[in-house]
Amino acid sequence: MTKTLLFNTGILTMDAQRRVYDNGAVLIDDDRILNVGPSENLLSTVQSGPDVQLLDFQGRWVLPGLINTHVHLSQQLARGLADDVDLLTWLHDRIWPYESNMTESDSYISSLLCGIELIRSGVTCLAEPGGQHVDGMGQAISKLGLRGILARSTMDMGEGLPPAWQDSTDEALDRQLAIYDQWQGRADGRIQVWLGLRTIFNNSDDLIIRTKQLADDLGVGVHMHVAEVKEEIEFARRTRGASTVTHLENLGVLDKNFLAVHSVWLDQEEIGIFAERDVKVSHCPAAAMRVLGFPKIPEMIAAGVCVTLGTDGAPTNNRMTLVDEMWLTSLIHKGRMLDPTAMPAENVLAMVTCDGARGLLMEDKIGSLEVGKKADLVVVNPNSATMLPIHDPVASMVSSLRADNIESVMVDGNWIMYDRVIKTVDEDDVLASARRHAEALRERAGIKLPQRFNWIQ
Ligand SMILES: [Zn+2]
């Protein structure tokens, strides 16, 4: 197998010592990192020959592949279907009709489109909270060459649900087990399956407890939207006698393999519970600003909670571009706390790399550029009017980096984007299919958007 040496490049390793190389190199053998260090050292140990590909990345920066811990792949075709509406209109009139009219092939095309946007923003690994057509998502991840964790959306209670989604508790668990059997370890091990819980509105206590037990038995994680909106806390108090996080703690399900998405409405005591149980948080800043509220992310980090970053879905954010979420994260907490030191770039970079990997229980495989880890990495070319000059590389990767600066992306030792060209699918074909599928799906679902402004026919 041919080895690859990337050299003459800046490297942010995000390893435990946070080593940064001004002029560094990464040696890759098959799907693994064989060595990381100064260019000089690695060049002298590697003998140039037909079995070593030398890539001079002068002027670039190499980072670990970015990790998006919460993205709804199958919602990409609903981008723009739910702008400027309240939560109930969003759910009942837009998203449920969209999702309940979706076919397996819609899910596949949606996931391809979303995946391309993710790759273009440097994402190499993602966690999907679960839609209805998991096969389409799995096929897309596999084809795109991404690494991903799948789940199925589970709902065993709740008013107003489309009839096709009303599973019994047993069915909800059985269907997830079937997906686990089908997808776990597929695509050369790049795909894993976790268990999904949608929200406390739609999940019985029995389902929540049995989901956690099953996750422990399988050695996987649980992915759940937690303490998302204020109404959820009121609902939990009314129906379960305690706010969401306190109730989940009472059920005994909060643990190191529990990924709590959004986690906006927590009090200080509940932040302490998250830290004590080593619960992982997926922070989705754009979705939070649109409808949920400010999560206490700096307070969580100070308490020792592992915080990761997600884009959420296209109808809640419109941008599945993780580098935009990094920028937003670096801004919104400073604004809320009136403190420009509240969210330093070091923390934001950790969220999308090493802490992202911890959040997905993959810290031994990905999240940093270290010997023995998977060769998942991103090449940044800062040579643009929007990013230059680079006085402070660590800060620039958060505050000035745009998706356009992501030049190449590698997963498992394979370039899935090189020099801004997606290598695994025909991007133009995907865009054409996405337009067709989105239009047909919207028609089928009967979703009508109110006309804005004064249209002249
Ligand atoms: Zn979500």
CATH (domain of 90): 3.20.20.140
CB 220 within 8 A of CB 194: yes
Cα 174 to ligand 1 centroid, rounded to whole Å: 22
Cα 88 to ligand 1 centroid, rounded to whole Å: 15
Cα 73 to ligand 1 centroid, rounded to whole Å: 10
Q: Indicate if 245 and 314 belong to the same structural domain.
A: yes
* Residue 207 CB neighbour total at 10 angstroms: 22
Tracing tokens 């053998």 back to the chain, one arrives at 29
Cα 78 to ligand 1 centroid, rounded to whole Å: 14
Closest CA to 314 of 116, 48, 44: 116
Q: Indicate if 45 and 182 belong to the same structural domain.
A: no
Phi/psi at 329 (5° precision): -60, -40
Cα 232 to ligand 1 centroid, rounded to whole Å: 14
Cα 117 to ligand 1 centroid, rounded to whole Å: 17
Cα 239 to ligand 1 centroid, rounded to whole Å: 22
What pLDDT sits at residue 457? 83
Cα 202 to ligand 1 centroid, rounded to whole Å: 14
Question: Is 455 contained in some domain?
Answer: no
Cα 125 to ligand 1 centroid, rounded to whole Å: 16
In this structure, what is the dihedral angle of CA atoms 350, 351, 352, 357, given to the nearest 10 degrees?
90
Q: Indicate if 333 and 390 belong to the same structural domain.
A: no
Cα dist from 48 to 8, 23, 52, 293, 432, whole Å: 15, 19, 6, 55, 43
Question: Is 429 contained in some domain?
Answer: no
CATH number of the domain residue 385 falls in = 2.30.40.10
Of 339, 359, 379, which marks where a domain is finished? 359
Q: Indicate if 192 and 237 belong to the same structural domain.
A: yes
Question: Is 440 contained in some domain?
Answer: no
Phi/psi at 32 (5° precision): -120, 160
Rounded-to-integer distance, Cα 84 and Cα 99, Å? 19
CB 253 within 8 A of CB 219: no
Question: Is 445 contained in some domain?
Answer: no
Q: Indicate if 77 and 137 belong to the same structural domain.
A: yes
What pLDDT sits at residue 342? 97
Cα 285 to ligand 1 centroid, rounded to whole Å: 12
Cα 92 to ligand 1 centroid, rounded to whole Å: 16
Q: Indicate if 293 and 392 belong to the same structural domain.
A: no
Q: Indicate if 238 and 205 belong to the same structural domain.
A: yes
* Residue 103 CB neighbour total at 10 angstroms: 15
Cα 71 to ligand 1 centroid, rounded to whole Å: 7
Cα 374 to ligand 1 centroid, rounded to whole Å: 27
Q: What is the DSSP string of 200-220?
A: TTT--HHHHHHHHHHHHHHT-
Cα 11 to ligand 1 centroid, rounded to whole Å: 32
Cα 55 to ligand 1 centroid, rounded to whole Å: 39
Cα 131 to ligand 1 centroid, rounded to whole Å: 10
Cα 314 to ligand 1 centroid, rounded to whole Å: 10
Question: Is 451 contained in some domain?
Answer: no
Rounded-to-integer distance, Cα 78 and Cα 106, Å? 11
Question: What are the 10-residue block averages of pLDDT along the chain, 457 residues in total?
Answer: 93 98 97 97 84 95 98 97 90 92 97 98 97 94 98 86 82 96 98 96 96 98 96 96 98 98 98 98 96 96 98 97 98 97 98 98 98 98 98 97 98 98 98 98 95 92
Q: Is 457 exposed, middle or buried (0-12, 13-18, 19+ CB in 10 A)?
A: exposed
Rounded-to-integer distance, Cα 431 and Cα 416, Å? 17
Cα 225 to ligand 1 centroid, rounded to whole Å: 6
Cα 369 to ligand 1 centroid, rounded to whole Å: 29
| Overall number of domains in the chain | 2
Q: Indicate if 160 and 280 belong to the same structural domain.
A: yes
CB 309 within 8 A of CB 69: yes
Beta-carbon contacts of residue 278 (< 8 Å; ≥ 6 apart): 255, 256, 306
Q: Indicate if 128 and 225 belong to the same structural domain.
A: yes
What pLDDT sits at residue 47? 73
Cα 229 to ligand 1 centroid, rounded to whole Å: 12
Cα 447 to ligand 1 centroid, rounded to whole Å: 21
Cα dist from 206 to 45, 169, 209, 346, whole Å: 58, 7, 5, 40
Cα 416 to ligand 1 centroid, rounded to whole Å: 26
What pLDDT sits at residue 29? 96
What pLDDT sits at residue 48? 66
Q: Indicate if 18 and 116 belong to the same structural domain.
A: no
CB 125 within 8 A of CB 449: no
Question: Is 443 contained in some domain?
Answer: no
Cα 223 to ligand 1 centroid, rounded to whole Å: 10
Question: Is 454 contained in some domain?
Answer: no
Cα 312 to ligand 1 centroid, rounded to whole Å: 5
**Domain limits for position 138:** 66-359
Rounded-to-integer distance, Cα 313 and Cα 329, Å? 17
Cα 457 to ligand 1 centroid, rounded to whole Å: 38
Cα 288 to ligand 1 centroid, rounded to whole Å: 11
Six token digits for residue 49: 């020959």
Question: Is 341 contained in some domain?
Answer: yes
What pLDDT sits at residue 51? 86
Cα 72 to ligand 1 centroid, rounded to whole Å: 6
Please state whether beta strands 3-12 and 52-56 pair in parallel, antiparallel, or not at all (unpaired). Answer: parallel
Q: Indicate if 289 and 414 belong to the same structural domain.
A: no
Beta-carbon contacts of residue 6 (< 8 Å; ≥ 6 apart): 25, 26, 28, 55, 57, 62, 379
Cα 122 to ligand 1 centroid, rounded to whole Å: 20
Q: Indicate if 76 and 54 belong to the same structural domain.
A: no
Cα 36 to ligand 1 centroid, rounded to whole Å: 36
Of 310, 326, 359, which marks where a domain is finished? 359
What pLDDT sits at residue 172? 94
